[in-house]
Amino acid sequence: MADFSFFILMQREFKIASRSVQQFLLPISFFSLVVLLFPLGLNPSPQLLQTIAPGILWVAALLAILLSLDNLFREDYEDGFLELLVLSPRPLALLLAGKVAGQWLIIILPLLLIASLFGIFLGLPNHSLGTLLISLLIGTPCLMLIGAIAAALTVGLQQSSVLITLLLLPLYLPVLIFGSSAVQHASTGLSSNPQLYMLSSLLILTLTLAPLAMSAAIKISLSQ
């Protein structure tokens, strides 16, 4: 039964996204807005921007993903689809992993494109752009998966966004620190391998454990 369970919800996610574009553009437009407004609020000297660019880009990506989390399971919970997932003979963890993977792909592709563009605008040296993209590519699935656990836990609550934010803050810190410091190191010409290795190990950890935690959390949320 495990054969293609993963792809069922991924495909569904793409279809829904193509029908309700607005909802999926929100994280991306939020990301662009944050990155655009920072230089306007600060002193726009090229040197300062170059120093803070890795931090801005990473924090903005983190916030964009955080913003998308509240809606991750909301509609499926409200229209009763989550109940069907739990009652399906297919493995719930795989189904949910497919859903999160779908969401991630929808958000990450435009985000990578815009992030590299903004990287150039903010004066990041060309040789560090690759590191920026790789660090986002490895780091954002961690953020998405950890966030999905919190979203699954709070989906039955009325006003869950505040709780999600509080729950996730400590768990997001390591990803943010390693991610932005990888880009920082790369922009000063140092090797960013150590940070990328750390991020990769975090990714493996979340990739293997988060789907199980998510499915347990969904079952708890539904049994209220």
Partner 1 sequence: MTLRVENLTCWRGKQALFDRLSFTLEPKKLLLVEGSNGCGKTTLLKILAGLRPPTSGLVTWQQTPLDAMTEEYNTHLKWLGHDNGMSRHLSVIENLRINANLFACEAKGIETVLHQIGLKPFQDTLVKHLSAGMKRRLALARLMLGHSSLWILDEPQTSLDKAGVALFESLTSEFLDQGGSVVIASHQPLGIAPNYIQRLNLSACH
Instruction: Report in angstroms how near the CB of residue 94 gets to partner 1 at its nearest.
Output: 12
From CA 116, how far away is CA 146, in angstroms rounded?
Answer: 24
Interface with partner 1 includes 90 (CB under 8 A)?
yes
Interface with partner 1 includes 21 (CB under 8 A)?
no
Instruction: Report in angstroms how near the CB of residue 93 gets to partner 1 at its nearest.
Output: 12
Q: Which of 88, 188, 191, 193 binds partner 1 (CB under 8 A)?
A: 88
From CA 150, how far away is CA 170, in angstroms rounded?
Answer: 12
Nearest residue (CB) to partner 1, 41 versus 80 = 80
Q: Among 31-39, 88-96, 141-149, 200-208, which window interacts with partner 1 (CB under 8 A)?
A: 88-96
Nearest residue (CB) to partner 1, 15 versus 127 = 15
Interface with partner 1 includes 12 (CB under 8 A)?
yes
Interface with partner 1 includes 87 (CB under 8 A)?
yes
Kindly give, in sequence order, each residue whose CB lies less than 8 Å from that of residue 141, ignoring residues fewer than 6 positions away. Answer: 104, 108, 203, 206, 207
Q: Which of 15, 45, 109, 120 binds partner 1 (CB under 8 A)?
A: 15
Nearest residue (CB) to partner 1, 14 versus 30 = 14
Instruction: Report in angstroms how near the CB of residue 31 gets to partner 1 at its nearest.
Output: 23
- Do the beta carbons of residue 141 and residue 104 sit within 8 Å? yes
Kindly give, in sequence order, each residue whose CB lies less than 8 Å from that of residue 84, ignoring residues fewer than 6 positions away. Answer: none
- Please, where are the H alpha helices in the chain? 5-19, 21-41, 46-69, 74-78, 81-87, 92-121, 126-154, 161-187, 193-222
27-86 positions binding partner 1, by CB under 8 A: 75-76, 78-81, 83-86
Instruction: Report in angstroms how near the CB of residue 48 gets to partner 1 at its nearest.
Output: 44
Cα 143–Cα 151–Cα 114 angle in degrees, nearest 5 = 40
Q: Among 10-18, 59-67, 199-207, 208-216, which window interacts with partner 1 (CB under 8 A)?
A: 10-18
Look-up: residue for tokens 């279809």? 15
- Do the beta carbons of residue 37 and residue 51 sit within 8 Å? no
- Do the beta carbons of residue 17 and residue 106 sit within 8 Å? yes
Q: Which residues bind partner 1 (CB under 8 A)?
A: 1, 8, 12, 15-16, 19-20, 75-76, 78-81, 83-91, 95, 222-224
